[in-house]
Every structure is written in C-alpha cells, then in structure tokens.
Amino acid sequence: MPSLLDPIRLGALPARNRVLMAPLTRARATRDHVPTAMMVEYYAQRASAGLIISEATGISPQGLGWPYAPGIWTAEQVAAWRPVTAAVHERGGLIVSQLWHMGRVVHPSLPGRGQPVSSSATTMPGLARTYEGKEPHVEARAMTEDDIRAVLDDYRQAARNALEAGFDGVQIHAANGYLIDQFLRDNANFRTDRYGGSIENRIRFLREVAAAVAEIVGPDRTGVRLSPNEERQGVNDSDPEPLFEAASAALSEIGVAFLEVREPGYEGTNGKAERPPVAPRMRAAFRGAFVLNSDYGGETGQAALDAGQADAISFGRPFIANPDLPRRIAHNIPLSADDTETWYTGGANGYVDYPPAA
C-alpha cells in the first residue's frame, strides 16, 4: 500500500505526497475580502503539502458571509491572489481555490448582501458572525430557477478568475451546511420542483455546479468536498448513505479529479459521527482520487491508506501550527499545538509565527 509520503496524481495535478492541506478559514483578508501580503507568507510556509486546498473563498457578495474571508469575484481580489499562488509554486507546491457559497449562513448586515438565499425558506440556528459581533440568523429566501442559473454563472466566473489568479484548479465546497449541502440534505430542502424531493433531484444542483466548473477548468482540475455524516450548521439528512453514494457517482460521471470527504470518527475513534461511516459507499461509487478528512494524524492517516479506505488524507488543524507537516510525519517529529484563540483574530500572531521543526 502507498505511504503518505508517496506521490499521487489528482487528475492533472502531480502531488508530491499524499499529505494534503485541508481548507482552513483564518479571516486574514481585508474587510473588502481582498487577500493580504500576510497570506502570501502563510501559504508559502505550507507549500510542502502534496496539495494545498485554499481557505473557503467567496464566489460573490451574495455567497460570502464570513468577515475578513477572501473572495474571488473582483479584479482586485484576483490580483491579490496571484502573489499567493506564485509563492506556493516557487516552493514546488500546488494550490487549488476552494469556491464557496454559504447560502442561508450569510447575514444581511454585511454590506451589499440582502436576504440570504437557500434551497428553501429556512433559517440557520444560532448566531451569525458579523462585523458588529454575533447576531441571530434570518430566514433565507427559497431560490428560483433564475436564481440557480445566476449562481451557476457565478461559479463559472469564479472558476475563470481562479485560473487567472494562478491556481492549479478548484475545489467546490459542497459540505458543512453551506448552499450546496442545503440542497443535498432533506432537513433543509423542502422543494417540490426538480431540485427537491427525490435523491436524483436533490443532487441536481451539485451536479450542475460541478459540470459548470469543470467546463471552465477541466474536470481533471476540479475537486469537490462533501460532509455526509453528522449535522453541520443545522443541516442533516435522514438517510445519507444512498444520497451521498448517488452524489459520488454523479461526480464520477463528470470526471471530477478528487473527492474530499469530511467525516468524523465513529465509536472506537473520536465518536463524533452519528452513524457508521458513509465514505466506503462513496469510495466504491467514485473513480477518481478519494481523500478522507477529519481528526487524522500521521499514524491514523497511514492506517486509512493501508486499509484501502482512501488514496490521500487532508489535514486541517495540524497544518495551522505545523507548516512543515509532511516532514514531521516522515520523521516522527512531535506536532506543535495550535492556539484556538488566534484562529480568526487577524494579524500575524497564531498565523505565520509557527516555526518549522528544528
């Protein structure tokens, strides 16, 4: 079986190892969602990953509801991403842009947002992050088919912009209770048209987004992230196994290069998942590279490869405090702990000041 340190092809992308960097929101862009110089250093420090999946990046003002998260819909944003991708490439790395529409998670208090949109007129539970602090979420407006076509155009333009910014490809964020997940899972999708009801209808929006993006960047440079198991931001499904098996098969038909599955452990691991893993059925239905994510370390990640459960592992939090994570895994160097208090605070502290191992 392959090692985490062995190379792998992710479609057209020749990754030098199977230690991928998962997307990590860090809130270091400007108030106008423009990447900053500090982000150049942050990503360059982590270029030894087989592939960097960028932090979630908004495709439009309508779709971005996280303060100080980056976007990729304006010329200024595209230009500011170019030094990031160039720095990663100069160090021999690969980086794709994770394209993000948050759906009902967006709060209308953010400038220019208006009422959020979703598959159905629902409200996310809890409080939204805004520039003024935390505020209750508001009810989303159910998207019309004209709305859906407009968002598909936004995805196409964001994919074009990602190529212009120098990214090696894109990943579609279809997980964690955001817009595409709000169409997929049945406790958020109450539509009675061709985007709701049956599994075939509920995966239609995902399939259309993936086809639209693949049309621009090529399916061999397109990835997708899904989260089949457990409630995420109030979004869940009563029967996820056949749903996500069908979604995986649909993505495979399009020729998507890699599928990243965020699924917490069950029982004997960390016990966060609500049911046994859905990933095995997804892997069987998907012909591209299969990537597992959530709470893996070097040993458990290698065990997943040894068991044939995945082709690569994406690591999130370990990359925050360990910019040289592949080297640490290769040489069994203890991992540094990250400071949760600095995840979203802005500034260099807890962002670019974690040193590599001596």
Q: Which residues are catalytic?
A: 178
Q: What share of the chain is helix, strand, coil (3-state, %, to 5)?
A: 35, 15, 50
